[in-house]
Structures are given as structure tokens and as C-alpha cells.
Amino acid sequence: MREKKRLEDVLATEADLVRRGDDISAYFDLSREGENVDADLRRELDALRAVVEKLETQSLLSGPNDRLNAIVTIHPGAGGTESQDWADMLLRMYLRWAEQRSFQTVVYDYQPGEEAGVKSVTFAVNGEYAYGLLSSEIGVHRLVRISPFDQAKRRHTSFASVYVSPEIDDSIEVVIKPEDIRTDTYRSGGKGGQHVNTTDSAVRITHIPTGLVASCQNERSQHKNRERAMKMLRSKIYEFEMEKKREATKKIEDSKLDIDFGSQIRSYVLQPYRMIKDHRTKTEVGDVDRVIDGDLQPFITAYLKMRRDGN
């Protein structure tokens, strides 16, 4: 059903692009006839540009887990109330970002700070490409501002870490294609006498893609031996896939950084000047309020392009 929806979205997007192109062509025709269509044409071009930018972003999302939902965890760094308030600001920013994209969010764990902010929060973002988009946010975020909690109105630097993981379903359905297995039969061994099996009832099944092998010769019936061997093979493939999943999770865990100076991926400076800068892509945005209200697209797009180019 997920693949069906994806294909339907592709067809709907193609139809939408064709319609927008026809509308723009019609406006050009009207303009040549002397009609004043500047405002309408500008509106259509701006709308088309937004659609193209969205499609460009999707084309950059080719990772194995990019299409999955995301689990986001935010932890404040050292600094007490100031850092906890910064973590709460980040939470608000991501929830607004998700709302703007019509993604659903579910807060799983929320530990409020003693005075303000949060000590820790974990939430899910459910939507197409949620993990791929939010993978740009993994790391330490640094805030520089005049603290509202400092009576002397001094400038403070706060840190908070953001960790994003794909929401992978633990229930693994083991599907074994007939062309992926090789079945060998052989005469099972025994103790001699009446226990000697004179037919090729033992079964050995090899899963060609993984090289995993399961054998059974306990039953006199080849059919029963094959059935039992298939059960064992399914269990082996299940564990094999679980091990791959654990290795992938370990790689994601290794991407975590210390919540400290020098490790930040992005700086949000509110005083003495106003600027948000991503230290990986060198992307800078001067409209701080727009970003904190959820407009992360410039940073996400720049990060995905950097990832694609391998820089």
C-alpha cells in the first residue's frame, strides 16, 4: 500500500506539472494579445518554483531509510535553565516545521525543566521522507542570546543536541523467494538396523543470496524434513537481518557528538547580530525568526546536496 501511494503521488505530481505548464503558456498567450497578466503570471511562476524545489529535495533523498518516519530526541547541554529553554525552542521549531509540511507528530517522552524548558524530549514525526529530511539536524545546535533568565542581561551561549533515527518496524516479515533457494536431498544417517533410512529423505536448503544453510534429517518424511528446514532457514534469515539492523543502528549512534563548544553543526546568533549559520554547508540565513518558526528548508536542501556530493 505504501508503494501504491508513492506511485499515485508520482502520477499526481506529473499531472500537476503539466497543468501548471499549460496555465503558464496560456498566460503568455494572453500577454501577447495585450492582456495585463503580470500578477497572475508571477503567482503561477512562484508556485511552480516551490513545486520544483520540493521535487529537487526529494531527488536528493535516496538513502535506504530516507522515506521512513523519524524519531527525534533533544537533550539540553550544560547550563541549566538556559540550555533547557533552548531545547524547548528547538522542539517548537521542529513541531512547526512538521506542521507546515502536514506531518503528524507524537510526543513519546517529555521531561520538563525545573524552571523552564525541557530536560529531555522524544517525539515522532510521521510523514513521507521525514527521516531523510530531518537527518540534516543530527548534531549539536548552539544558541547565542541575551538570556531572559539573567537579571544582568548578559549574553549567554547554550547548547542542545538533536538525535534523529528512522522508525524501523521490529516485526520483520521473512519472505523467501523460490528462486533464491537451492534444495538438496540425501540419505540420512542412522544407527543401523531398522533405523537405516533407505530413501533420500534428508533435506538441505541453501539460501543463495546470504549463503545461509539449514538441514534436517530427523523425520522419515522428506516433506516433514523440508518443512522443518524451511522454519530453521527463516529463523536464520531473521537473525541475519536483525544483525544488519543492529550494525546500521550502531553507525547512527556513532554520529552522536558531545554537547560542547567546537562540536556544533549550526549556530543561532540572536545578539549582538542576528544570523543563523550551518557550519557544515556554510549556509547563512539572516531572517532568524523565520527559521525558528520552522522554515528549515535552506539548511535541509544544502545538507542533502552536500551529502549527495560526498563533501
168 falls in which pLDDT band (50, 70, 90)?
low
Nearest to 292 by CA among 83, 114, 143, 118: 143
Residue 226 in this model has a pLDDT that exceeds 90: no
Same domain, 242 and 105: no
pLDDT-wise least confident of 51-55, 168-172, 205-209: 168-172
Structural domain span for residue 276: 70-170+251-309
Q: What is the pLDDT of residues 77-134, one digit of tens each?
A: 977 889 999 999 999 999 999 999 999 998 888 888 888 899 988 888 999 899 999 9
- CB–CB of 175/300 below 8 Å? no
- 213 and 297 share a domain? no
95 and 151 assigned to the same domain: yes
Residue 65 lies in a domain: no
Name the β-bridge partners of 163.
73
Mean pLDDT of 129-157: 88
> What domain count does the chain have?
3
166 and 260 in a single domain? The answer is yes
Q: Say which DSSP state 188 is in.
A: P
> Which of 264-276 are b and which e, b meaning 16 or more Cβ less than 10 Å from the residue's Cβ?
bbbbbbbeeeeeb
Q: Quick one: 182 and 166 in the same domain?
A: no
Q: pLDDT digit string (tens) for 13-70?
A: 899 999 999 999 999 999 999 889 899 999 999 999 888 887 887 788 877 788 888 8
Does residue 306 or residue 169 have the better pLDDT?
306
Instruction: Compute the average pLDDT of residues 287-296.
Output: 95
Q: Are residues 144 and 258 in the same domain?
A: yes
pTM for the whole thing?
A: 0.64
Rounded mean pLDDT of the chain?
84
